[in-house]
Structure formats: structure tokens, C-alpha cells
Amino acid sequence: MNDPYKQWQVPERVARLKDLVYNLWWSWHPEARALFKEIDRNLWRTTYHNPVLLLQSSLPRLHQLAADEGFLSRYDSVIRIFDEYLEDQYTWFARKYPQAKGKRVAYFSAEFGVHNSLRIYSGGLGILAGDHCKTASDLGVPLVGLGFMYPQGYVQQRISVDGWQQNVYEQIDWSVSPIRPVMTPSGDNFLMNFNLGPLNLQVAVWEIVVGRVRLFLMDTHVEGNSAQDREISGRLYGGDRTMRLRQEILLGIGGVRLLRALNIPAEHYHVNEGHSAFMFLELVREAVAAGKSFEDAARDVAGRSVFTTHTPVEAGHDVFSEGLVTEYFNRYWSELGLGQEQFLELGRVPGQAGWNMTSLALKMSGQRNGVSKRHGIVSRHMWTKLWPEKKEDDVPIGHVTNGVHLSTWLQQDLGWTFFKYLGRDWPEKQDDVAVWAQVAGIPDEEIWRAHMRNKEELFKLLRDRARDRWISRNAEASQLLTQGALLDPQALTIGFARRFAGYKRATLILRDLARLKGLLLDHWRPIQLVFAGKSHPADDSGKALIQQIYHLAKDPSFGGRIVFVEDYDMHVARYFVQGCDLWLNNPLAPLEACGTSGIKAAVNGVPSLSVLDGWWEEGYNGVNGWAIGASGGRGSGDAADAADAEDIYQTLEKKIVPLFYERGPDGIPHGWIKVMKESIKTVAPRFCGNRMVKDYVKMFYGPEAAPQAASARTTAQVGI
């Protein structure tokens, strides 16, 4: 691995472009994106907004621009804003906690979704981690991320002619991605030796810079490692149980060792989902090696750590056989000062076989949280078995409801509109309800014009993709219709985009096809449905749901008004949450721990029609969107599906469709825009990234939280 940054020649006058492209700061600053677009608009589009690739392919053009006064003044201004951001000494964190300067949080996550040019995330969990890092950077929270670089990333999705998901893996070309290898001072690739039980391998390390935050990602695809060991970091969520265990050992234990090897001190530790929970053991091992007893060491580690659990779905919690765990840890446990039984007990759940990573994390962390108020309640119920002496309400798991990084997800024009009506400092005050109250004062025409432009952008993206496929002779004509070639920008457009996991019930709205057809083909007031999402590569039942939708999308009798968009990722997600009219979410409650796509949509003025689960149970106020099954309906099985589907049809027929198509003399749907404004106004301040990260700082990693004795924490203290 070479460092392309070093080898890369850029004209001297614009040399700072190199720093700019290697800091993902550009991804949430429109001025920087505009600069890249100016370099080569078409390349910007065809590289899917990857400025490293763009710049490397534009050398002659850069020589031209280095003599272009207009470009240079915009370049200078972006570099000035960039430097000011990086050097800012008066961030929220610095002002509020001057005494905590440099007290770093080490944030462990198996995936990070920072930008679509780095495909090392699968879905909500990773994107939350990415949003957390960006927000921490904005607020000045000293945070460092630890994770994996997956040379083949997560699965890419192609849909075959008969609607079956094809799993495509492509080796990522790091030389054209916003990522750099960590090097030693003498200019060699930095390598870490990792030994644990039968594992003995070399680990290379990559760095991604996200504003002020740095992510260090481990990679085992290194010469000298066996073929099997190279696969450890090969793919996100690939491989069998043994591979998964090896990954998680490296992530947790290797992550701590990497911090030490890079000489990066950390004060607090945040375990984002159970995958990295082995981290706790390594911290304890260090303290035991320094002379502490296991109990003292564990208490100390608990006092500095927080664990966030992300799902009530059983399959989302990793369980390994005790035999397998023993194979890897049979020398390690004595280094913890434990015997085999005591050690295995850490991963046990009463009444279940095996070693459970969530159990380990819950037992070893001092602070624990779910990701919405309801998920906190569900998690306390789910894990009461670990605290048999406590009443369910007293199980020490609280909640911090997820938020989204507004500058990443908000459509740019809407952001400018907010500057005009909410004040230049709305981004810093994004968690202030009073700031958003001013949304009421934005003229309806302005909101509507911005929205219609977003919708046109979404349809253009879909048409462009279909056209590319057509030109490459890679698709039949009927397949292009499934991609959205016939979509109508005037029609009410309903978005449904998320992973195809069973509990999300993607096909619920297809339950009564005759009734749905009536809505889709209504001559004056049609609706159209736009789906996207991947199934886990090994999940055939998820793939079967995709196929069902795909067949309808191809069926001429639905008039091209049902669409399935391939390869859902952050790029597609942005266009979706900005360009649909309505966001549909119908999971089987209470299995959606939070759900964040609906938040992204809501802040763009795209209200939800959603089951009251996850964030929507907190966010819904009766006028900022619509609830499914509001009058009870908490069951499961066919009867619950039928009731929820009926509710969806009724709400669409009686409320949503009429409101959307009710136009004033100016052609603008003022009643609908009222809901859009309510949605922005009520959701943005409560579900933005700043609110979320400030909660984590206040409760877990700021000075206010630090003195709390870990084991003394109860739910009452963890912000219910």
C-alpha cells in the first residue's frame, strides 16, 4: 500500500485540495462540494461524488483552474472556512467543559457509514456511527473511532431479470478513496502484530479523517497473513461463525491494542453494539497485568464505559458456542485472573446456551442504553434475566434516542432557506426548539419549490441510472420500468427504503392488490410507490420479498407506478429522503429499535406514515404526519398484518391523498405544506445529531457523568 497523497502532484497554487479531499468534512459542507462540482461537473456525477477520484482524473483541468481568478477566490474561501473549522478553539465542548480538554472517547463500531465512497457500512447502525462522528466533530467532542476496513465492503445489489438479488462484491480501490494508510515515521506501512490463542497475524491500519475526528480501521489483507487470516477483515457481515468470532476478537481486543500502539490515550470507551464487546476484557486484562484484582479492574472499566444496544431482534445479538470461545480464550482467562467457569459466565444468559456478546457488554459496561424511549423499555424487559433480583423497571438500561447529522441529510436548498428564515447560526442552535418555531414564517411557495426540485432530482437520478443500464445493453426494456422510468413528478410519491429484514414488513402495502391498484391508477389523484433496500446476502426470505415487489413493478397492469431501485446506499438514501412526498414505515412493533430514515425524511419536510414504534412513538404529535395502528394493534401474525394494512389503505384514501391533492388557486397544497412544516419544526430539534451527542456527553462521557459510580447507575438516572 502506498500513500497516494504523497505521490500525487497537484499545482502548487491549489495544493490544499489534497488536504480537502482527504477530510470527509467536504461531505457536509456545500461550499466544498460546489468547488468539486466546478472542477468537473460530469465527473463529479459519474464518480458518485468521490473527490479523490475526481481530482486524480483532472490534472490538466487543475492546471487551468490554478490560473482562474474566479475559481481561486472560491478555493481560497473554502480553504479558509476549512481551516477555521479545524482550528476552532470555541466549540460547544470546549466552552462547556474546558476542564475536559483532550479527554478522549474511544468509539468502537463494526461499521461506519460516513460517505458512499467508503462502502464499509450496511445500514442504520453504521450510518448512526458515521453521524455520531460527524456530530462529535462539529461539537468539538474529542472522539476517535475504531473499526474495520473491509477491502470488499458490504454486498452490492443487482437484481436479475426475474427479480432475484445478486450479491456482488468488488474489491474497493483504496488509491482512489478518501482514506490513507497509516505509515511509520520512516515511511513504511504501519503494521501491528496481533496474537491471541490460535490467532497470530499482522494488521495494517487505515485512517479516515472526519472533520476533527479520526477513524482508525484495521485490515488483515496483508502479505504474510494466511489466506484465512486475510479474510478476517474481507467483508462486512460475511463468513461463518468462526470467522465472525475472529473478527470480533480483533475488533474489540485489537482495537484497544491499536490505541496503545498508536499512542492515543482515551478516557472513555463507547461500545456501539455488541460486536466490539471483547474490548472490555482487554481493558480489564491491562489493569490486572498492572496489579489490580479482576473485581477492581472491572469496576474501573465499567466506570469509564458505555454500551449501546441496537435491536430487540434476537438474531441481531451474536451468540457463539462456548467450545469455540474456549478455543480462543483458554489462555486469556487466566490473564484476567479468572477460571474457565467464571470466564464463561460473563457471556451467559440464564436459560440460553452459548456465549452472548450482548450479555458480555451489559455485564461489563457501567452505563447502558437503548436507542429510543420505547427501545429502552423493551431492552429492560428483554434483559431482566441478567438482573433477576431487580424489578423490570429497575434494570439498569436507559435510553438515548438516535439523532441524524442534519448537514449530511438536509437538502442543500432547504439549508439555505433555513439560513434566511431561522438565522445564520441555526446549525449551532439546531437542538433549540425556539429556532425551529420560525419555520412557520417560511412562505409556502418557497418550501414547495424546494421540495419539487428535490423530487425532480430523485427522478432524474433514477432515469440516469436506467439510461446507463440501457446504453450498456445490460437490461431489458421492462427492467428499466422497474427502475422508475415512468414515474410522474406530479403524483404523490411514497418512499419505502430500508434493509429487507422480515420484521420491517416491506410487502405489507401489497396485501390487497386490487385496493392498491385503485390508489395507484386513480386517474386524477394517483400514488406511486418507490422501494429500495438490500437483503442480507444469506437471507433468502428477504430476497423473496424483493422478488415479489419486483414482479409487480414489471407487471404492466400497475402502470409503472411501483418501482424498485437497486443497490440502496447513502447516495440513494439522500435522494430518497429528500425527494419523496411521504415516508412509509410499517415494522412489527416493538421490533424497530429507533429507525432513522424517517427522521432524515421528516427534517426535509417528508412526513411519515408509520407504525408508532421506535422514534415515531416519541416524535408523532398528531399533526406532523400519520400513525398506523394508533388505536392499539400491538399484536403480531396475520391478524395484525391485516389490521395494519387496512389502516394504511384507509389513511391513504381518506386523509393523505385528499390532502396532498387539495390545491389552492396558486396550485400549491397549503394543507399539505402545513404538515411538512410541522414535521420539520417538531422533528429537527429533538432528533438532530447535536441533541443526541450532547445527551451522550452529559450522561456518559462528559465531566458531569464521570463521577457516577458505574454500578450505582440505575435507569432513573439514565434519562428516562
Distance, in Å, from the CA atom of 493 to the CA atom of 498, rounded to the nearest integer, reads 16
CB of 646 to ligand PLP, least distance (A): 23
Nearest 10 degrees: CA dihedral of 42, 47, 53, 59?
Answer: -10
- Return the DSSP state at 654: I
CB of 601 to ligand PLP, least distance (A): 9
Per DSSP, the residues of 300-318 read HHHTTEEEE-----GGGS-
Site map (CB under 6 A) of ligand PLP, residues 653-682, x = contact: ------------------------------
Distance, in Å, from the CA atom of 522 to the CA atom of 423, rounded to the nearest integer, reads 42
Distance, in Å, from the CA atom of 478 to the CA atom of 142, rounded to the nearest integer, reads 52
Local structure of 198: helix, strand or coil: coil
4 vs 403 by CB, closer to ligand PLP: 403
CB of 600 to ligand PLP, least distance (A): 6
Distance, in Å, from the CA atom of 212 to the CA atom of 87, rounded to the nearest integer, reads 9
127 vs 458 by CB, closer to ligand PLP: 127
- Residue 353 grid cell: 446456551
Q: Which segment (77-85, 508-516, 597-605, 699-707) binds ligand PLP by CB under 6 A?
A: 597-605
Distance linking the first and last C-alpha atoms of the chain: 48
Under 8 Å between Cβ of 115 and 29: no
Q: Which segment (15-23, 246-254, 376-384, 594-602) binds ligand PLP by CB under 6 A?
A: 594-602
CB of 375 to ligand PLP, least distance (A): 12
CB of 703 to ligand PLP, least distance (A): 32
Per DSSP, the residues of 500-531 read --GGG-TTGGGSSHHHHHHHHT-SSS-EEEEE
595 near ligand PLP, judged by CB under 6 A: yes
247 vs 596 by CB, closer to ligand PLP: 596
Distance, in Å, from the CA atom of 602 to the CA atom of 406, rounded to the nearest integer, reads 11
Number of H helices, E strands in the chain: 33, 20
142 near ligand PLP, judged by CB under 6 A: no
CB of 409 to ligand PLP, least distance (A): 8
CB of 426 to ligand PLP, least distance (A): 22
Give the β-pairing of 608-611 and 626-628: parallel
Under 8 Å between Cβ of 253 and 271: no
Q: What angle do CA 637, 399, 592 make, to 5 degrees?
A: 25
Q: 47, 372, 483, 596: which one contacts ligand PLP (CB under 6 A)?
A: 596
253 vs 591 by CB, closer to ligand PLP: 591
Chain position carrying cell 458456542:
321
**What distance lies between CA 170 and its chain's CA centroid?**
21
Q: Which segment (425-433, 455-463, 590-598, 633-641) binds ligand PLP by CB under 6 A?
A: 590-598
Q: Which segment (39-47, 162-170, 339-347, 591-599) binds ligand PLP by CB under 6 A?
A: 591-599
Q: Of the candidates 356, 87, 336, which has an alpha carbon nearest to the alpha carbon of residue 248? A: 356
492 vs 497 by CB, closer to ligand PLP: 497
Supply the Cα-derived Rg of the chain in whole angstroms. Answer: 25
Under 8 Å between Cβ of 220 and 249: no
213 vs 601 by CB, closer to ligand PLP: 601
Within 10 angstroms of residue 428's Cβ, the number of other Cβ atoms is 15
Within 10 angstroms of residue 642's Cβ, the number of other Cβ atoms is 13
233 vs 586 by CB, closer to ligand PLP: 586
Give the β-pairing of 608-611 and 492-497: unpaired
336 vs 594 by CB, closer to ligand PLP: 594
- Residue 91 grid cell: 466549540
CB of 673 to ligand PLP, least distance (A): 24
123 vs 629 by CB, closer to ligand PLP: 123
CB of 596 to ligand PLP, least distance (A): 4
Distance, in Å, from the CA atom of 374 to the CA atom of 390, rounded to the nearest integer, reads 19
Q: Which segment (102-110, 315-323, 434-442, 593-601) binds ligand PLP by CB under 6 A?
A: 593-601
Distance, in Å, from the CA atom of 513 to the CA atom of 161, rounded to the nearest integer, reads 22
CB of 197 to ligand PLP, least distance (A): 35
- Residue 129 grid cell: 456511527
111 vs 581 by CB, closer to ligand PLP: 111
* Residues β-bridged to residue 320: 355
**What distance lies between CA 689 and its chain's CA centroid?**
12
- Cis bond before residue 265 (omega within 30° of 0): no
CB of 116 to ligand PLP, least distance (A): 8
364 vs 501 by CB, closer to ligand PLP: 501
597 near ligand PLP, judged by CB under 6 A: yes
Q: Kindly identify the residues of this chain, within the stretch 560-589, that bind ligand PLP according to CB under 6 A.
A: 568-570, 573
CB of 311 to ligand PLP, least distance (A): 10
Within 10 angstroms of residue 38's Cβ, the number of other Cβ atoms is 15
CB of 267 to ligand PLP, least distance (A): 30
CB of 611 to ligand PLP, least distance (A): 12
Q: Which segment (274-282, 309-317, 467-475, 595-603) binds ligand PLP by CB under 6 A?
A: 595-603
27 near ligand PLP, judged by CB under 6 A: no
CB of 583 to ligand PLP, least distance (A): 9
Count residues near ligand PLP (CB under 6 A): 13
Q: Of the candidates 516, 512, 504, which has an alpha carbon nearest to the alpha carbon of residue 545? A: 504
**What distance lies between CA 146 and its chain's CA centroid?**
16
493 vs 596 by CB, closer to ligand PLP: 596
Q: Kindly identify the residues of this chain, within the stretch 109-128, that bind ligand PLP according to CB under 6 A.
A: 123-124, 127
255 vs 598 by CB, closer to ligand PLP: 598
277 vs 601 by CB, closer to ligand PLP: 601
Q: Kindly identify the residues of this chain, within the stretch 490-509, that bind ligand PLP according to CB under 6 A.
A: 498
430 vs 596 by CB, closer to ligand PLP: 596
- Phi first, then psi, for residue 594 (nearest 5°) are -140, -60
Site map (CB under 6 A) of ligand PLP, residues 598-637, x = contact: x-x-------------------------------------
Q: Residue numbers of the site for ligand PLP (CB under 6 A)?
A: 123-124, 127, 498, 568-570, 573, 595-598, 600
